Structure 1
Amino acid sequence: MKKLLLGSMMAMLVATGVGCSTEDTSGETPEETGNGETITFGVTPWTSTVPPTKIASLILQDMGYEVVETSADVGNVFMGLSRGDLDVFMDAWFPMHQVHMERFSDTVVDTAVSYPEAETGWVVPNYMEDINSVEDIVGNEDLFNNEMYGIEEGTSSQEETNEMIEALGLDITQVNSSEGGMLAQAQRLMQQEEPVIFFGWRPHTMFNKYDIKVIGNDAGFFETSSVHVITNHELQEKAPDAFEFLSNWNISIDDVEEMIVQIEEEDQDPEEAAREWIDNNQDKVNEMLGN
């Protein structure tokens, strides 16, 4: 939830799984209309991407489709969608990813809102009672060793963070790494109750694990996001019933966060967590399927 070489994307891990149909509450199974057609999902290395991808993947498999998941960074996901190498991305964040939508506007389609009002921005521990906005950091950068921790380079969040640093004249350097690396560094400092700034977003288990807060700013950076489903522009013709299902897609941010906890903290298999969600939300699934 953030240079572009298609070759690097295609060299990344591809995982394919085929699931079995699950009965809905009326005892009926989804009509199999996929006829073995393959639908390829782009999967970014963010915890928020997994739950909606796994749920949608299993439902499409129940409809008779083959499903492939291709791991890539967000820039390569959008490029893959544009080139037709990928069909679906379940975790596009707006307005952060608007730059990618504008770049590939002729070949990608904003298909559905997965969930609105996902909070994102700079995060500090709640024990830092005097730091409640980015403006509170001005003049106090040395408290943080003049560093804030962000996710991998090339993301929209990295760019927006650097823009905010420049706009506010902060004497801060962004240190980028993987999501796991960023959180490991933040956790190390929080265990010692040291000052730390890092990038955060919901849905994420960090808000279940740590006593933290997203700090605002008066400059309009890191607006509350909405998370969208993005598809290749040819999917509607290639698989109209799949496109219709994805057009009706929505899920609550609380459900996504609960699944992240099940997967990340309780070591539940992602597909098992997704199947459990489907079984517990069959009315919602039927609605998305147009039944």
Structure 2
Amino acid sequence: MKKFLLGIMTMFVLSIIVGCSSNEGATNQEGAEGDSDTDATETITFGVTPWTSTVPPTKIASLILQDMGYEVAETKADAGNVYIGLSRGDIDVFMDAWLPVHEVYLDKYADNIHNTAVSYDNAEAGWVVPSYMEDINTMSDLKGKEDLFKNEMYAIEKGASATEVINDAIAGYELDLTQINSSEGGMIAQAMKKMAQEEPVIFYGWRPHTMFNKFDIKVLEDNKGFFESASVSVITNNDLKERAPEAYEFLANWSISIDDVEAMIAKIEDEGQDPEQVAREWIDNNQDKVNEMLGK
């Protein structure tokens, strides 16, 4: 009987010890989970337009955020829909906002989005013609010569705010021109077809872009100021700063040179290199710059 009672008591004590050990393990596990960096488990969604200039900054920022422990995603859309996504919180960040052209979006969605950082300055944009058109050097020179171009001016996709500025310029210079919209690639292909035959052509151009290295073209002087030298900015949804503060801090410190962006576009578009590999190469070659943006 004594042996039986002793056995029962031994089992009871062991169960208490095991229970305490189990609870202590659970407590330690909960503490470890509580100490984890929940910020870095967030998914950061980038808005990506069809423009070649959007790709390099987006890929670089995505890889750096992944290195920080974040998940990243991309939503591809035209500029107008990217800003709608930003305003709704479906998109967290857009790396290719052209100001002042995109001010219309910042004003429209001011309650939900804001300009977070300047990526680079001196981004030129305007109407472009081949250099062999020696008598056409300003937008005013087009007046009365629209028939040379079959009354057509080629531009990028509808929905981009630049298309509104182009229409304003057509009206402002009183030109008998119709804006023909397509993708960036479609616009360039049409211009190349015309230039191969040395025919007159007007199309929308901007830098950074490889068109200025590939073609002998010139930007028409805009005496009425419809097209200004732009600064390109990073735009974020207002909730990102609180939801993912470390990611936001990195994006707020973001900058890159226009020359680097243009060189990366050339590697991707002209040489067919993988965008992520090109972005990783930039990161490896610019570690001091990366550390600066990370606040290290």
TM range (shorter): 0.7 to 0.9
Aligned residues of 2:51 and 2:184 also touching (Cα < 8 A): yes
Structure 2 residue 98 is the aligned partner of structure 1 residue 127? no
Aligned residues of 2:39 and 2:243 also touching (Cα < 8 A): no
The corresponding residue for 2:111 is: 106
Structure 2 residue 219 is the aligned partner of structure 1 residue 209? no
Relative to its length, the structure with more helix (as a share) is 2
State TM-score, norm by structure 1: 0.88
What is the CA–CA distance in structure 1 between the aligned matches of 2:60 and 2:160, rounded to whole Å? 25
Shift of 1:35: 2.9
Secondary structure of residue in 1 paired with 2:241: helix
Secondary structure of residue in 1 paired with 2:264: helix
The corresponding residue for 1:253 is: 258
Q: What does the per-residue CA deviation read over 1:40-89, in whole Å, with 9 as the maximum and x for residues that have no partner?
A: 00000000000000000000000000000110111111111111101000
The corresponding residue for 2:147 is: 142
Aligned residues of 2:100 and 2:230 also touching (Cα < 8 A): yes
Aligned residues of 2:149 and 2:202 also touching (Cα < 8 A): yes
Opposite residue 211 of structure 1, the aligned amino acid is D
Gaps spanning 5+ residues in structure 1: where? Answer: 1-31
What is the CA–CA distance in structure 2 between the aligned matches of 1:254 and 1:129, rounded to whole Å? 28
Equivalent residue for 2:281, pick from 273, 276, 280: 276
The corresponding residue for 1:22 is: none
Aligned residues of 2:40 and 2:244 also touching (Cα < 8 A): no
Q: What does the per-residue CA deviation read over 1:110-169, in whole Å, with 9 as the maximum and x for residues that have no partner?
A: 000000110001000111111111001111111111111011112111111111111111
Structure 2 residue 58 is the aligned partner of structure 1 residue 65? no
Instruction: Compare CA radii of gyration and give the structure with the larger one.
Output: 2
Cα distance, 1:119–1:203 mapped onto 2, change above 3 Å:
same
Q: Percent identity?
A: 69
What is the CA–CA distance in structure 2 between the aligned matches of 1:267 and 1:213, rounded to whole Å? 26
Gaps spanning 5+ residues in structure 2: where? Answer: 1-36
The corresponding residue for 1:37 is: 42
Secondary structure of residue in 2 paired with 1:35: helix
The corresponding residue for 1:16 is: none
The corresponding residue for 2:246 is: 241
Structure 2 residue 187 is the aligned partner of structure 1 residue 200? no
What is the CA–CA distance in structure 1 between the aligned matches of 2:155 and 2:291, rounded to whole Å? 39
The within-5 A match list for 1:58-97 is 58-97=63-102
Structure 2 residue 259 is the aligned partner of structure 1 residue 263? no
Secondary structure of residue in 2 paired with 1:122: strand
What is the CA–CA distance in structure 2 between the aligned matches of 1:189 and 1:218, rounded to whole Å? 26
Q: What does the per-residue CA deviation read over 1:5-63, in whole Å, with 9 as the maximum and x for residues that have no partner?
A: xxxxxxxxxxxxxxxxxxxxxxxxxxx87432100000000000000000000000000
What is the CA–CA distance in structure 1 between the aligned matches of 2:148 and 2:241, rounded to whole Å? 52
Secondary structure of residue in 2 paired with 1:262: helix
Aligned residues of 2:80 and 2:160 also touching (Cα < 8 A): yes
Opposite residue 101 of structure 1, the aligned amino acid is L
The corresponding residue for 1:152 is: 157
